[in-house]
Structures are given as C-alpha cells and as structure tokens.
Structure 1
Amino acid sequence: MDAVVSSEVGVDPGLRRDDEASRGDAALRFITCGSVDDGKSTLIGRLLVDSKAVLQDQLAGVHRAGAVDLALLTDGLSAEREQGITIDVAYRYFASPRRKFVIGDTPGHVQYTRNMVTAASGADAAVVLVDATKLQWRDAQPALLPQTRRHALLVDLLRVPSIVFAINKLDAVEDPALAYRHIAGALAAFSHAAGIQPRAVVPLSALQGFNVVQPAAGWAGYVGPSLLQLLETLPATTAEADQGFAFPVQWVEKFSESAETAQGRRVFWGRVATGTVQPGDAVRVMPSGQAAVVAQVLDAVRRPTRGIAGHSAGIVLDREVDISRGDWLLAHDAPAAVREVTGTVAWLDDEPLVAGRTYWALHGHRWVKARVQRVVHQLDVQTLAEQEAEALPPNGIGVVKLVLQEPLATRPFAKARVPGSLVLVDTATHRTSGALLVR
C-alpha cells in the first residue's frame, strides 16, 4: 500500500478543513494516546516509514545507539530526545492511495495530559495504545493501566467519533494469541462499564510492523484489517449543521462607505459553530440581546455564500449593531443565556480545583469570570464510580457547578461542541487549568 508524501507538511491542522469538507474528501485527523512508553511515537514512525512517507535522508537522521529509532520521527524537541519521552503534541501528515491523514502524537505522561486533551478536541479518531508487556496478560481479566483508562475516558468525553484500541508489543510476549484475547476481553469489559463503543481492538507490533500497514493474516489469532486499513474507513467528524445557528465573533472588519461588497457596513468574521445562516435570517446578539437580520454572508474572498457549521464566514447585518470580538450571533429563538453551568471537567492544573476559587472562562472568544460553586463528584478512573469530593486533584475528572459573572449562551456538549465547551484559565498564572463540557 504505497503512499505519497502529503503536500500539507508544515501547515496547521485546522487551516484546510473547510476546503476539504466542501469537497467531501476530508483528511482523517487522528491522535495516538495511552500510557507512557506504550509505543505511540514508534507506531507513527512505522506508519510513515511503511507507507513510504519518509525520505531517506530523514530516516538516516533518526538513529539512537546505532539503530533506527522510529520514535525520533515525531519526538523532535531536544528534551524529548534526551529523555526518550513525548512532551508536546507533534503533527505529521501523509496520504495513502485512499485517503489523507493528519496524525497527532500526544504525550502519555500524566503531567502532560493537557496537551493530549488539546489534540483530542479536534480529532476525528483516537488510537489508544495498550502495551501488552506491562500487563498480567496471562490473567483472564488483566488490570489496565490508569493512564490507559484516563485517556480512553477523556477522548470519549470529548466526543471523538471513533476510538480504536491497539494492543502493542505482542511480538515481545510468549503467547501473542492468548495475550490478545485476554487484553481484548479486559478492554471490552472496561468499555462496557464506561459506555465507550470502540470501533475495533487491533493487535500489532509497531516495532516490527506487524498489522500496522499490511495485515498480518492470523497473527495473534486476529483476522481483520490492519490499523491503516481500518483508519482509511473511519468517518470524519460531521459538522453540527442540524443544530440552531451559533456564531462566535472573532474579528470585526470596518469597510469604507465606498465598499460595494458590504454596503459600507461592518463585517463580522468567524467560524460558524452550529447550524446554518443565510441572508434574511433573524439573529440575536449575545450578550446585548439586540435583534437584527442577516443582510449578507461572505466567504473568505468576499463572495456571497451560505454559512454552514464548520466553515468560516463573514456576516453583514441589515443595520448597525454594537458587536465586538467575543460576542455571539445566535438564532432568534435560541435558548436564553445562563449564569450557572454544570459540566464535566478534565482538570489539567498542577493545583487542585476547589470550591470558591475563581477562574477565567473562555467560551468561543468571550472571556468571563467563573467561580466554582461546588464539586458535585469525582470519577474514579479505576472503578468508574462517582465519588463525593470537595476538590479535584491534578488530572482528575469530575462534575462541577460554576457561577458566571456574565450570562453565556451555552448548550449541552453532547449536542454542540463549541457552544457546549469552556476553557478554564488561572487568573494569576494564566495557565490553562481545565476543560469543561456542559451537561
């Protein structure tokens, strides 16, 4: 299965999504995640090498201790190469004859969970790796590592459409078939208890290349597609065009009176979060509550168009309304904004989340102060039980209730990703502290 090097190397993963989606051949954006040293970087290196997406001079430059180290194809930071770990998210691009791919290599260390969450928030699929050599694979139900559970729970909470479990390093165990069967059973039990519906559980060896690009028929007792063949069939994230219109204003552009395109009015630029918009639609401005009618919808080169969820657009209203960056344009019948929000939070700060603390909350492009009223409960990643808690520890997952300084037009994250998500930022250190998903 030969491939060509993608021409998109060096381009930010979000820049071409609109054009690809309009053509119907969107690249699959997937991440690799899991615990420390499960082979995530090596797997991506193997995908790139076996699909012939790596030049010979690149391959010649990734040696460690006299041997080729595939992990170095993604671990490019000096600190990563010195310590042999992944710290930040590294994106790589390649294409098979059937599809283009954008890969995000995420770190497995607990302290870098925030980087993994950032990458997962824009992914179409997640490959959760499981290192067979770290588990008691001879047991009928081997215990999974905490970080494996945590990453699987997080990608499911973030509504990543497709989750694939990949059991790695089976070439290093005595009985690959038995190990695959027992670990796959443990993953199935965990998925059932957590409400996760994985697409597949694939056995592989990233180091040797078994079942990564080409299928290894019958190896480890598995008969099915290779990992790459499976990825080629996974769907890209569907735009939420069936929801009510919501548009976070990112930039306000003032045209001169002589400009014919916008009839001298301001143009409000951004990306349609949900729904659709076209001239004649009645909209409401949040937080002012003012009403207006859409006069024009423009594309990137100011041609008249129809705004669709997931696409960037410029919106011109029929009259002048005081709107600035951070405001939202909503459907005229959108639900009222709220001052209290309850949501599932992935806590990413080094300091615990405690009731009474105040944070900055980013909703779209709008910043408001948010006070933690209470911690409803914490999720035990081992037992999946909801436990009473007064605080959330670093990398904890739980449910909290926030009181907002100003009302926000939030929606349940299960229905609308952008209106249903908030980023919590420490007011003193300006660190990203948590990701909250509205319930």
Structure 2
Amino acid sequence: MTPPPSATAGPVTRPARLSPTADVTPGPATDAASAPVPTQRPVTGGLLVLVGMLLVAVNLRAAVTSLGALLDEIRTGLGLSGTMAGFVTTLPTIAFAGLGALTPWLVRRFAPARVLVVAMLALAVGQVLRVVTDSALVFVATSALALAGIAVANILLPMLVKQHFSHRTGLVTGAYTMALTVGTTVAAASAVPIAHAFGSWRAGLGVWAALAAVAVLPWVPLALRARAARRAGTPTVAAAAPARVQPARTRLGWAMAVYFGAQSLSGYAIMGWLAQLFRDADFAPETAGLLLAGVTALGVPVALLMPALAGRLRTLRPLVLGLTAFSTAAYLGLALAPHDAALLWVGLLAFGQGAFPLILTTIGLRARTAEGTVALSAFAQSTGYVIAALGPLLVGILYEATGGWTAPIGFLLAALVVQTVAGLAIARPRFIEDER
C-alpha cells in the first residue's frame, strides 16, 4: 500500500516530484525541530540516488560478516581475549542501537547526501585502520568508527525511499534489501578465501574498504547540488513543515520497535549458532557452513519479493502470519530432525527471515513524510537492536547450560510469539504522524 500525500499545509505535491538532492537542513525561518519535505527533482537525480542507495546497501553488513568469518584468525593475530572477542561480536548491535539514534538529529541539520558521504567515508576509513593495527584496543575503536557509518546509513535508507520513491516503495525497498543480502552473503563466503589467497586475515577483512569508498561516489555530486541549492536560496521545503515526530510516545512506534527487535534477535541467533547446530547433528564443518550460507542465499529472492507484496496489500496480517508459520515449522524441524531434512529447514528459515525486508518496508508505509520515516526508522532500529543483542547471548547461555538445542529453540519460539503479536499490531494501515 502506498501512503497518501502529506497532510501538511500548502499544495499537495505528487510523489514523483520529490527532490533527490534537496537540502533538508532547516533555514533561518524554519524550526530546527522540523524536517522539511523537498519539492523539486532534477531530471537525472532519481537514477543517481537509486544507484547510490544500492551501493550503500551492499556495504551494510560486509564489514560485520567478514569479521565473523575470520574471527579465529583475528583473535590469534591480535591476541584477543575471549571477553574481548565476545565484545567485538556484540559491537555491531551496540553501535546500531546507540549511533543510529543520532541520525534524525543529523538530517535536521544536514542534507541526507552530505550525511551519507561522511558515513561511507567513516566506514571505509574505519575498515582500513583496523587492519593496519596490532593493538586490540585500536582494532575495537576503528571497528566502532566503521560501524558508526553503517548505523547512520541503516536509518537513512528507508527515509530516502520515502523521500524520492514513495510511488515505488515496495520495489525500491526490495531492491536495496536484496543488495544488502547479496553483500552479506558475498562477504561471508569470500572473506576466508581472500585471506588465504593473500596469506593474511588483514586482506580478507580490509578489502571491503574499497567497496565502501565506491559507495561514496554517487553521493558527492548530490551533496554538492544540495549545498549549491541552499546557497542560492532555492526553496526546498513545503510552506508548513510538520512538527517533530516522537515514535517513543506512540503505540505504533513501540510495536514497530518490538517487531524489528524480535526478528533481528532471531536473525542474529541463527547467524551465530545455526552452523554449530548442524555440526552437532553430525554434519562436517564445511557442510554446516554451506547450510548457513544457504539461509542467506535463499533470502535474496525473498528480500526482493517481500517489499513488493507488502506494498500491494491493504493489511499485512497474511504476511505476518505466513512468516510466523515458516519460522515455526523450521524451528520445530531443527529441534526434532535437524539432519534428516536439513535442506527443508534451511529453506523454511530463509522464508521466515523475510520478516526483515517486511519491517523495512513497513517503516515507509507507516509514515506520511520523510521526517516521520526517519524518526520511525531511528526509533524502531535503535530500540530493536538493543533487543536483538540478547539473541546470540541467551542462545549461547541456554546451549551451554543444557548441552542441547531444545531450550535454545524453545527460546526462539517464544521470541517468535512476541514478534507475531507485534506484527499483528502494525499490520493495520495507519501513520505515525497521526499518533502524535
């Protein structure tokens, strides 16, 4: 479902005329708490913005999954303690939760294109610096710098979809979610071979800095255009900008955050522990790794199709319940017969993980304006990642305490119940601006 035009004062503008380069920084006569809605669109801007979004999306997990694939080598090379290694693996969710919350403040003061230039530069520089150091503390600090860039970009992409492609929300969200999934899969699968080819874990971890540097390129001309437009005094805002949206004071905001957090909790737990589950089911380590990679690989078409389906349905209830059914069947299968039908459980898990592209699409569908979208995106993702951080930790504690997978899978099923309840709460079409 495509949201209706903004209900703010002034003439209604068609979504296709939204500007991909407009500076959203409030001018002197604009309240700093307001996020203006752009009204103009250069002829070539739409394609450039789309290419830039896809390049950013490819980078959003490569720095994380490449580190996970090489963690043993990194621990040996830097002499990381078990506690420090555990902190490194938890650092992404901490960064995404804490730093992502700052993004609405940034976009109220700077054009999104300028923010993304800095974010991708931080990602590139952080990835370079962390592979040239021999200090564990410097490695953690520079990893945090790289993750800061990802945290900001995580929040901005749903806003950019609303701002520039509100008439194609499902299609564009599907495209960038698919790009994110491809980047995740490629980095996880190729980090170790690259490290072996060059004889060092540093190569397998640092090569992704080049990809982040490429992602900067489309946003530089867009940032320059926005700066020039502002200096020239080009009007870029509606006559009346909406008041600041505060999702934390709304039921919809909390339901979105809980759904995002519950599905991310399951996703991180699966990425962290599924290979071990298959090893315990008598699969060889290489085969267990391939089965884990299969979940991500099969998720590519799901990532493309799910947002398109969500954009066409008036209520998301069928999708929420369908994804719950897939995940429930997969968890029960993994608990009862992990070896006999492993490929089936992998396929069902991949479909169940379609909750991730679904919630990203829903962020855009549940806001009328770009300002509402970035506020909802920041709150849902920041709060959600705090919840998600518990997933791998609690699964590990339960696995170690019981020596089996019944209790951990029971915990994931309980999280799925919470996810479903929250999903049904956000299934009905409404807008975060209406709940202020």
User: Which category describes the TM-score, using the shorter chain as reference length?
Assistant: under 0.3
The structure that is helix-richer by fraction is 2
- TM normalised by structure 1 equals 0.27
- TM normalised by structure 2 equals 0.27
Which one has more relative contact order, counting CA pairs under 8 Å at least 6 apart? 2
The structure that is strand-richer by fraction is 1
